Amino acid sequence: MIVKKGLIYLLYFVIFIFSLVIFIPKINIYYYFENQLTKYEVILSNENIKEQLTTLNIGNIEVYFKNSKVALINKIEFNYDILSPLNIEINIVIENEIVNGKIDLLSKRIIFENMIQADKLGTILSHLNFSYKNGVYLYEY
């Protein structure tokens, strides 16, 4: 009897987490980060946004820094994992460079790893006060 109740509560919890990840307004997270970038005089424009169940895809983003166009980001993809709802994976394609990272909502950090070859995005991240060490860019907010 007790085991049966425990399984029912576990099932309710899993359904709640699943619903939270699916129905969370993912586009609002993107707009929040876009708003934060304006503090550094970075403007993102002309982007195409497509929201899916656990993914947010943004394409053809023009990046302006101090009113000068500095890059065209081909694609940014935010992936939400149901099993790890406090971590958001980021995949960025910018001028033939592919960069993977994550947003850790619990520790309030954005991490991009293996960026030794990513010149264009590395330059942008340096302007945004990301710290760099051994191919890893880190930003704590």
Give the 3-state secondary structure of residue 8.
Answer: helix
| Domain boundaries, given as residue ranges, for the chain | 2-140
Residue pair 137/128 in contact (Cβ under 8 Å)? The answer is no
As given in the structure block, the two tokens for residue 40 are 């550094």
| Residue 130, token pair as written in the block | 């990301």
Name the phi and psi angles at 46, rounded to 5: 55, 30
pLDDT tens string, the chain, 141 residues long: the values are 677 888 888 888 888 877 776 777 778 878 888 888 888 888 999 999 998 888 899 999 998 988 888 888 899 999 888 778 789 999 988 877 888 999 998 899 999 887 655 667 777 777 778 888 887 888 887
Query: Quick one: tokens of 80?
Result: 């939400």
DSSP state, residue 41 = T
Please give the Cα distance from 60 to 45 (Å, whole number): 9
Q: What are phi and psi of 47, to 5 degrees?
A: -80, 150
